[in-house]
Amino acid sequence: MATKGSTKIISTNRAVKTSCKNTKVRTASGSCAPERKPMMKSGGTAHPGFKAVQSKIAAKQGISKEAAGAILASSTRKASAKAKAANPRLKKVK
């Protein structure tokens, strides 16, 4: 078994990595895993508001604000549970 850098060469077809240089977390099996950052409840940029997004959709697609509102409402209803947890106002759209 030869050693080449941080990789042990077991055979000509297989190599096993022995150290985790860019990661700080090891799983229970001993393999490397990237360090996970905690999810922030608040942070990032604020939502511009539904009316502003509606206007942006209307201008970009060249349609009326009513049609843009329908598109926005449809996509809001299809939002994931994770998105609704981050922005509870999405639950208000019927």
* Predicted confidence (pLDDT) per residue in 26-77, tens digit: 666 666 666 665 555 556 677 788 899 999 999 999 999 999 999 999 999 9
Exposure of 90 by Cβ count < 10 A (0-12 exposed, 13-18 middle, 19+ buried)? middle
| Amino acid identity at 66 | E
**Cα first-last separation, the chain:** 65
Exposure of 70 by Cβ count < 10 A (0-12 exposed, 13-18 middle, 19+ buried)? middle
Q: What tokens were used for 92?
A: 């208000």
Instruction: Name the residue with higher pLDDT: 79 or 26.
Output: 79
Q: What is the pLDDT of residue 89?
A: 84
Q: What is the pTM of this model?
A: 0.48
Q: What is the pLDDT of residue 17?
A: 52
What pLDDT digit, counting tens, does each position of 10-26 carry? 555 555 555 666 655 66
**Cα Rg, the chain, nearest whole Å:** 24
